[in-house]
């Protein structure tokens, strides 16, 4: 009996040591995304212009880091809030904690004290100036495989945003994600943006930068479900009910296989005007009348050429049969 007890105490001791060692490692050694690359970015007019395009209409920095007004269809951005952050991605919506987008304007409560290198490191590895790991809702896993030049342009542009003081609340992730998140950042692996003439490769590059898959690929425990790329069904619980992303694979019956390139481009371009940003959207909601998380009004600013390339790439992904019900009333709180 004594021996048994000794062994038991020994095992418990070892397990505890292991846990403590693990925690010390996670808290002192992680995140580890390699050294900060020592860069300064020259703000040329070309870069600022390209950065404005990418930040507002492709990489969607401004979409997540500004206020979206859900009184209007597709949540267009509230003018005067560009970059101020504070958008809440909450537990109620289905996220593993309460995650707030940050103030990325050059204000004291934003990124005024950050060097170009700090901003670049955060966007491409997910490690902030203070050494914290960002939750990958901030799509740094996509930005880390983009073309450096595109990120330089984005930084040149966000430095021109009007500084707005807005102290954003701290993100609180649930256990064990608050620990796991520290292991996600890794050094960036940049690529070269393919030539536009290489339409499919270029489309793949743009769809990655645009994070379409973040919403259109269903996930389980935060990881994309294998074989379900772009097959839809990922759900968000919003005050107006539950909304699921659609299947955008080339399956004829349940995806967008029957859409022509023109139909695809027009589906976006109908939102490329001021009137489309002012469609008042009121309850009651039902399957035929619901608000959408799909940032139509922001993506609408993409060029027809870029949308066409995304379409061309989507034609090449594996068609998946997956019928999605876009809307159901479960979780709706707007009547209360």
Interface residues with ligand HEC (CB under 6 A) are 55, 59-61, 63-65, 89, 99, 101-102, 104, 111, 119, 122-123, 128, 134-135, 137-139, 143, 154, 158, 171, 210-212, 214-216, 243, 245-246, 248, 256, 267, 292-294, 299, 310, 326
Nearer to ligand HEC by C-beta: 169 or 282?
169
**Bond from prior residue into 64 cis (ω within 30 degrees of 0):** no
Q: Which candidate, 313, 318, 311, 325, places its Cα nearest to that of 251?
A: 318
Nearer to ligand HEC by C-beta: 35 or 113?
113
Nearer to ligand HEC by C-beta: 21 or 192?
192
Q: How far apart are CA 41 and CA 115, in angstroms?
A: 10
CB of 102 to ligand HEC, least distance (A): 4
Contacts made by residues 146-150, CB under 8 angstroms, sequence distance 24+: 146/190, 146/191, 146/193, 146/205, 146/208, 146/209, 147/190, 147/191, 147/192, 147/193, 147/205, 148/190, 149/193, 150/50, 150/54, 150/59, 150/193, 150/209
The answer to whether 65 touches 101, Cβ cutoff 8 Å, is yes
Residues 6+ apart with CB under 8 A from 3: none
CB of 87 to ligand HEC, least distance (A): 7
CB of 111 to ligand HEC, least distance (A): 6
CB of 37 to ligand HEC, least distance (A): 15
CB of 24 to ligand HEC, least distance (A): 22
How many other CB atoms are there within 10 angstroms of residue 262's CB atom? 12
CB of 311 to ligand HEC, least distance (A): 8
Output the CA torsion 220→224→225→227 (10° steps): 170
Nearer to ligand HEC by C-beta: 132 or 334?
132
Nearer to ligand HEC by C-beta: 109 or 334?
109
Nearer to ligand HEC by C-beta: 11 or 37?
37
């Amino acid at each position: 009996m004594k021996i048994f007890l000794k062994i038991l105490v020994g095992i418990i001791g070892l397990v505890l040591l292991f846990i403590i060692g693990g925690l010390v490692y996670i808290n002192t050694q992680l995140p580890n995304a390699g050294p900060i690359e020592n860069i300064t970015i020259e703000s040329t007019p070309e870069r600022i212009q390209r950065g404005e395009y990418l930040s507002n209409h492709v990489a969607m920095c401004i979409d997540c880091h500004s206020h979206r007004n859900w009184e209007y269809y597709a949540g267009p951005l509230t003018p005067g809030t560009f970059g101020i952050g504070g958008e809440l991605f909450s537990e109620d919506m289905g996220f593993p904690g309460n995650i707030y987008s940050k103030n990325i304007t050059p204000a004291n409560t934003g990124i005024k004290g950050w060097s170009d290198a700090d901003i670049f490191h955060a966007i491409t590895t997910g490690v902030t100036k203070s050494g914290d790991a960002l939750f990958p809702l901030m799509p740094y896993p996509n930005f880390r495989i983009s073309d450096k030049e595109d990120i330089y342009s984005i930084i040149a542009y966000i430095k021109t945003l009007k500084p707005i003081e807005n102290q954003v609340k701290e993100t609180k992730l649930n256990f064990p994600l608050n620990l796991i998140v520290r292991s996600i950042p890794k050094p960036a692996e940049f690529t070269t943006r393919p030539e536009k003439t290489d339409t499919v490769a270029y489309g793949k590059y743009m769809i990655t930068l645009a994070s379409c898959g973040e919403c259109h690929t269903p996930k389980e425990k935060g990881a994309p479900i294998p074989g379900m790329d772009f097959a839809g069904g990922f759900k968000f619980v919003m005050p107006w009910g539950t909304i699921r992303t659609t299947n955008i694979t080339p399956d004829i019956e349940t995806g967008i296989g029957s859409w022509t390139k023109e139909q695809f481009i027009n589906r976006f371009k109908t939102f490329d005007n001021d009137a489309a940003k002012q469609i008042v959207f009121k309850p009651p909601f039902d399957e035929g009348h619901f608000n959408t998380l799909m940032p139509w009004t922001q993506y609408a600013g993409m060029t027809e050429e870029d949308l066409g390339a995304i379409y061309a790439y989507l034609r090449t992904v594996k068609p998946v049969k997956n019928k999605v019900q876009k809307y159901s009333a479960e979780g709706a709180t707007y009547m209360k």
